[in-house]
Amino acid sequence: MFAEKTKKLMDEVVRLKKEKNAIILAHLYQRPEVQEVADYVGDSLGLARTAANTDAEIIVFAGVHFMAESAKILSPDKIVLLPEIEAGCPLADTITAESLRAKKAEHPGAVVVTYVNSSAAVKAESDIICTSANAVKVVESIPGDKKIIFTPDKNLGSFVAKKTGRDLILWEGHCNTHQRLTPDDIREAKAKYPNAKVLVHPECRPEVTELADGVFSTTGIINYVVNDPREEFIIGTEAGIMHQLLKKAPEKKCYLASPKLVCPNMKLTTIEKVKLALETLEPQIEVDPEIAKKALEALEKMLAIG
Ligand code: SF4
């Protein structure tokens, strides 16, 4: 499936990672050739757990900036490389430590639950972190009499509020990629594939999640497709997931809900850049120790919940 030139680069990356005692962690939204050279491919929760437990000296993080920061916070003694330093996340950029402090001042005593798609500085201002896989569990762990500020993804927050029946104070942030998926896209896909179940990510807008048969994290979507007896699925999350679906459930037919579901930030990481990062051990991710200490507390609270 890969061109000769790409295969050679992939072989070179595999050789280099062994030589340097490095581990490559790749998000499910990465390019197929990058996923193929990774030691672990998963969603934010799985990636955070793997980063916290690895024995490798170097972590190459094929993902976006906030993910590599989380890896550095969880494994401060390791070298953490982000092959493309400009790979950011527009959702994470909707909130800063200052703007969160201002929101906290408006709601004294509120517990701050922050989605992992956020900077280390924002995590440090938060009480507990969540991912799309465990957001419901995290909110359910907070006593019912407490006010909750949920940042920064409004769509995920709305989904969690609906699931838990809790009244959450929501931040006005969203993922540009998932926001592009519209109810009309889902209706059109359903008309084209009437036997398919619709599975979408909770970063999609509420009008879209309402039309779905299931709302799951990326790993949750893959597990559902693998285990469900249905043969056809319409997938409402970033296009990179299709590579793992093809590998894990080759007998099923999966259709991307819209060709608009491509995150340009995730695609900035190429196999050439992964190779260069391993050769030069740059660009390295550093996190201010004070910020890292506070962010770690919030991340560890999440990991204790599961
Ligand atoms: Fe950020 Fe959305 Fe891209 Fe994920 S898919 S990195 S949330 S912009």
Q: Return the ligand 1 atom nearest residue 63 CA.
A: 6
- Protein residue whose Cα sits closest to atom 3 of ligand 1: 263
Distance from residue 63's CA to the centre of ligand 1 (Å): 10
pLDDT truncated to tens, each residue of the chain (306 aa)?
899 999 999 999 999 999 999 999 999 999 999 999 999 999 988 898 899 899 999 999 999 999 999 999 999 999 999 999 999 999 999 999 999 999 999 999 999 999 999 999 999 999 999 999 999 999 999 999 999 999 999 999 999 999 999 999 999 999 999 999 999 999 999 999 999 999 999 999 999 999 999 999 999 999 999 999 999 999 999 999 999 999 999 999 999 999 999 999 999 999 999 999 999 999 999 999 999 999 999 999 999 987
pTM of the full structure: 0.95
58-62: strand order across its sheet = 40-42, 22-27, 58-62, 79-81
The domains of the chain, with CATH numbers, are 4-89+266-287 (3.40.50.10800), 92-174+291-305 (3.40.50.10800), 181-256 (3.40.50.10800)
Find tokens 């909770």 and name the residue.
202
Q: Which atom of ligand 1 is nearest to the CA of 264?
A: 3
- Ligand 1 centroid, distance to 91 Cα (angstroms): 6
| Residues whose beta carbon lies within 6 Å of some atom of ligand 1 | 29, 64, 89-91, 117, 175-178, 238, 263, 265-266
Extract the tokens encoding 257.
Answer: 């809900």
Closest residue by Cα to atom 2, ligand 1, is: 175
Q: Where are the beta strands (DSSP E) in 133-205?
A: 148-151, 168-170, 197-200
Q: Whole-angstrom Cα distance, residue 240 to residue 238?
A: 6
User: For atom 5 of ligand 1, which residue has the closest CA?
Assistant: 263
